[in-house]
Amino acid sequence: MEFLPDEHSVTPLAPVWAGLAIWSLSGRPVAAEPGTCLEAVTFLGDERPVATARASLEHGLLAQVPAAACAGAVLRVQEQEGRWLFALSRSERLVAHSADDAATMASWIESWLAPPLAGSGGVEATEPSPPEEPRAVGPRAPAASPRRGGFSAVASRRDATATIPIRLSLAASLDLDDLAPLWPGGEISLMMAFGPAFWLGIGAAGAWAPEQDDVERRAFRITARGGWRSPFEWGALRLGAGVGIVSASARRELDDDSMAADDEAGPFVEVGAGLDVGLSRELALTGGIALRAHLPDDLGGEGDGEEENPDELLEPQPLPAVAATLQVGVAYSSGGW
């Protein structure tokens, strides 16, 4: 969950005090008698996240400068679904951010309260950098709405350094068609999300039909896909379509112990649907179904002008015109997929 403006935003004084009034109803301040910058900060929030935040700052920069450097600073801390949410108000400024862990949160807080440091303890004194110009807020900026724990869902935005969400999956597959009842196989695929609902990806799959009616078949295909996804509380639904190329071979043992074989390759089109069921923040069970139509070319046929080989009548067909694939496997996602 993302919240509040980012670290460069400036909020007028009146809304700041209004927000702090809401915070004070949902958390207890924790502050010590000022002696260092850290002790001058007033902490708000539940006991455990506040204790963790203080511990992550105790041996850092805020413990090396006098309390005057942090006079009047109020820090609100909350942990929500494994992510740290924190907001700092001081004078007429209100800045907020989120982090994946307490150490990153501590670095942000130190950069706000002591950039750069001038003081004791071996820290070299430097001239403070001029503050950045505040970014203008449009007249239609959404107003803060109080949420549990005192935080507001004012804006939904990710860190500027966020990567493209990706999903890597490994699945067992079963191909079904009119040539061979079952083609067991597998696929590895990579998908990338673009925006909240669209994705692009690529997959590589192999299938092998064990000997049936004296015929053994193998196939390998690469598919480029794209589609739509709809995340929900416990998983995500995917719909998509794709194009690819397939190469297949089939071999039949004849009565005289000789082999009749044929190879085919060509493009295909595909449509499919999938469902992910979350196991954790990164892992999910995944299942899906795909329908393909093949347009194969003959790789092993005779050249123009040559006589037709009567043995070709005995050659097995490597690929069906239409096939279906069932899949089940596991998927790993990152970057907010």
Sketch the domain layout of the chain as residue ranges: 13-150, 166-334
List the one residue out of 75, 88, 93, 159 whose CA is nearest residue 131.
Answer: 93
Report how many helices (DSSP H) and strands (DSSP E) the chain contains, helices first. Answer: 4, 13
Please compute the mean of the pLDDT values over residues 214-227 and round it to a whole number.
91
Q: Confidence class of residue 297 from pLDDT cuts 50, 70 and 90?
A: low
Which token pair is 317? 């067909």
Which token pair is 326? 């069932």
Containing H/E element for 106?
A: helix 102-113
What does the alpha-carbon distance between residue 141 and residue 12 come to, in Å, rounded to a whole number? 13
220 versus 120: the higher-pLDDT residue is 220
Write the burial class of residue 123 (CB in 10 Å: 0-12 exposed, 13-18 middle, 19+ buried): middle
Q: Which of 25-29, 194-198, 293-297, 328-332 has the lowest mean pLDDT?
A: 25-29
CATH class of residue range 166-334? mainly beta
pLDDT (tens digit, 9 = 90+) per residue, 135-152?
Answer: 544 444 444 444 444 444
Amino acid 192: pLDDT: 94
pLDDT surpassing 90 at residue 29: no
Mean pLDDT, rounded, of the chain: 75
Q: Confidence class of residue 329 from pLDDT cuts 50, 70 and 90?
A: very high
Check if the beta carbon of residue 56 is closer than 8 Å to that of residue 43. no
pLDDT surpassing 60 at residue 249: yes
Amino acid 311: pLDDT: 58
Q: What percent of the chain has a predicted confidence (pLDDT) above 90?
A: 26
pLDDT surpassing 90 at residue 96: no
Amino acid 121: pLDDT: 37
List the one residue out of 131, 141, 108, 151 whose CA is nearest residue 12.
Answer: 141
Check if the beta carbon of residue 276 is closer than 8 Å to that of residue 286. yes
CA 176 to chain centre: 32
DSSP 282: S
CA 177 to chain centre: 35
Amino acid 112: pLDDT: 81
302 versus 181: the higher-pLDDT residue is 181
Q: What percent of the chain has a predicted confidence (pLDDT) above 70?
A: 69
Write a three-state SS string for 192-218. EEECCCEEEEEEEEEEEEEEECCEEEE
pTM over 0.95: no
Please compute the mean of the pLDDT values over residues 285-293 and round it to a whole number.
96
Torsion over CA: 296, 298, 299, 305 (sign): negative
Check if the beta carbon of residue 155 is closer than 8 Å to that of residue 1. no
pLDDT (tens digit, 9 = 90+) per residue, 155-210?
Answer: 344 444 447 889 999 999 999 888 777 889 999 999 999 988 899 999 999 988 77
Torsion over CA: 47, 50, 56, 58 (sign): negative
pLDDT surpassing 90 at residue 10: no
302 versus 254: the higher-pLDDT residue is 254
What does the alpha-carbon distance between residue 165 and residue 192 come to, in Å, rounded to a whole number? 6
Q: Which of 64-78, 96-110, 234-248, 295-309 has the lowest mean pLDDT?
A: 295-309
pLDDT (tens digit, 9 = 90+) per residue, 305-320?
Answer: 555 555 566 678 888 8
